Amino acid sequence: MTASMDFEGTTAEETAPRELDYAQTMLAAAAIGIVGGMVATTYYLVLEGFMHLVWHTIPKQIEPFFTESFPATNYVWIAASVGGLLVGLTLYLMGLPGEVSFVVEKVHDPGRIDIKQTPAMVVASLFSIVAGGSAGPEAPLVQVNGSVGGWMAQKLGLTLRTTRIFTFCGMAAALGAFFGAPLGGALFALEIPHRRGLEYYEALIPATLAAILSFVVFRLTTGLSIGGMYHFTSIPPLTLMNLAEGAVLGAIGAAVAALFVLVFRTVGWLTRPLEHRTILLATLGGLFIGLIALVFPQTLFFGEREIETIIKTGSTFGITMLLLIGLAKMLAISCTLHSGFRGGFIFPLFYIGAAIGLAIALGFPQVHPTIGMVCMMAAVNVAITKTPISTTVILSVLSDTAMVPVIVIASLTSFLLTINLNMIKTQRARPLPGVGDRDLESVAPQLQP
């Protein structure tokens, strides 16, 4: 019997989606990882170049123009406002690229991220980060590399299942390079679409391979070191009391995250009348980011390097100041994201946890500062992102400490206490067997509240 023909003369076998075998999938994952590492390198070098230009070269050039009545500190809010204007113009002219919720939604259905949004995301996120916004490069890198994986699958005419795996490989490649923790990056990419744990398990090994290769390429091309990013004070051997401290800190971190969500939603409500005035909203957002930084300079930027400053000199600030810095960072993140700036909030959340964790350690000397900071970093992030396993892995690498049991207890405590605290609205369970992705909403009540 001859194969059936469609109206263009192609056979049904030719138009049906393809499924790759395991070896082919792993080969594609490796290719995505290598490409992802090169993309991360390019983005990193461009970002570093612009950061140096805006915050080092230009201030030195214009310093003579400032006076006693108009000091050089005003450069902060001017630069942030100009950056906000450029973000607004980018969004107005190039379109609105999605944010974390958008990426999560597309992972579920149709399993890939539209690569057409990549240029707008790259440009807008560069302006956002360089302007001092409290948003990091992980979100744009995830969207860019994830879209590359999905684009490859689309060109090859692959099934939805394999397309989603390719998208996860791209996301994992981005996070593996950015975090410097390949396994943690892969796990984070697989946990973030859900509220109750990793569910697209079939993508774990390909995503891990992509993350490892991306990590190798990124470190090789940038020359960055491998291992811990932060230099925390060494902790004594762990005891059962430390495990109890982890649980308590996890509960406090959950409360801090709830406060952050309240601040975030309040700022969202205040900015809603301007949500369609893209340029004005982004410019005002930049202005407010700059004004907050005039009072609390520690809130400027997304927090990756600022966490090291908290570790080294935070104890000199005192408890009250550290708590105010944490609250100011919540406000800065909210202004950043609600004004249209593009970027991720993982490191900003880590920063909030570090500041408040150190304040707790200062107030209760029996809590070691390293335990207080790292556990709070984990708890605050997990409450928002619902990623207890990957956050534990990532922070154990970044902190270069042997305190995984304490971190995982803090993470799981926060996770369980905030199970109904949903900031990423598109997080949900994967489709049930036999249920199409597009029919998921009809069975959603059976899956989770």
**pLDDT tens sequence across 289-327:** 999 999 999 999 988 889 999 999 999 999 999 999 999
- Asked whether residue 14 carries a pLDDT value surpassing 80, the answer given is no
Same domain, 71 and 137: yes
- Cα separation of 96 and 218, whole Å? 28
Question: Does 426 map to a domain?
Answer: no
For the CA atoms of the chain, what is the radius of gyration? 22
Residues 71 and 97 in one domain: yes
The residue-averaged pLDDT of 410-419 equals 96
Winning range, highest mean pLDDT, from 98-107, 154-163, 229-238, 244-253: 244-253
Residue 251 falls inside a structural domain? yes
Amino acid at residue number 440 = L
Res 401: pLDDT: 81
**pLDDT (0 to 100) of residue 442:** 41
Q: Which domain holds residue 143?
A: 22-222
Q: Are residues 100 and 164 in the same domain?
A: yes
Confidence of residue 6 (pLDDT cuts 50, 70, 90): very low
User: Domain check: are 247 and 218 in the same one?
Assistant: no
The answer on 208 and 263 residing in a single domain is no
DSSP string, 227-261: S-SS-PPP-PPP-HHHHHHHHHHHHHHHHHHHHHH
* Residue 129 falls inside a structural domain: yes
Q: What one-letter code names the amino acid at 170?
A: G
213 and 86 within one domain: yes
Please tell me whether residues 144 and 195 are part of one structural domain.
yes
In a domain, 107, yes or no: yes
Q: What is the DSSP letter of 69?
A: S
Q: Indicate the burial class of 237 (C-beta count within 10 angstroms; 0-12, 13-18, 19 or more).
A: exposed
Cβ neighbours for 245, distance < 8 A, ≥ 6 positions apart:
367, 371, 372, 375, 406
Task: Single out the residue of 121, 73, 116, 79 nearest to residue 96, CA to CA.
Answer: 121
- Of 329-338, 370-379, 435-444, where does mean pLDDT reach its minimum? 435-444
Average pLDDT (363-371) is 96
Q: Please give the pLDDT value at position 372.
A: 97
In the chain, % of residues over pLDDT 90: 76
The reply to whether 438 falls in a domain is no
Instruction: Check whether residue 289 and residue 144 sit in a common domain.
Output: no
Q: For the ranges 7-21, 57-71, 193-207, 337-351, which has the lowest average pLDDT?
A: 7-21
Residue 5 confidence class, pLDDT cut points 50, 70, 90: very low
172, part of any domain: yes
User: In terms of DSSP H, where are the helices of 63-203?
Assistant: 75-94, 100-108, 118-130, 138-156, 160-179, 182-191
- Which residue do the tokens 């090291």 mark? 308
The CATH number of the domain where 318 resides is what? 1.10.3080.10
Give the span between the Cα atoms of 291 and 299, in whole angstroms.
10
Distance CA 405, CA 186 (A): 20
213 and 246 both lie in a single domain: no
DSSP designation for 289: H
Is 436 inside a domain boundary?
no
| Bridge partners (DSSP) listed for residue 5 | 11
pLDDT, residue 400, reads: 85
Between 269 and 225, where is the model more confident?
269
Q: Which tokens in the block code for residue 439?
A: 């029919």
Tell me, yes or no, whether 179 and 297 share the same domain.
no
Residue 10 lies in a domain: no
**Average pLDDT of the chain, as a whole number:** 90
Q: Is the pLDDT of residue 46 over 60?
A: yes
Closest CA to 210 of 187, 179, 186: 186
Residues 214 and 246 in one domain: no
Number of domains in the chain: 2
Q: Is the per-residue pLDDT at 181 higher than 60?
A: yes
> Could you give the CA distance from residue 414 to residue 255 in angstroms, rounded to a whole number?
9
pLDDT of 440 strictly over 70: no
Say whether both 387 and 273 belong to one domain: yes
Domain boundary among the residues 222, 250, 267 is at: 222
In whole angstroms, give the CA distance from residue 67 to residue 250. 48
* Residue 210 predicted with pLDDT over 90: yes
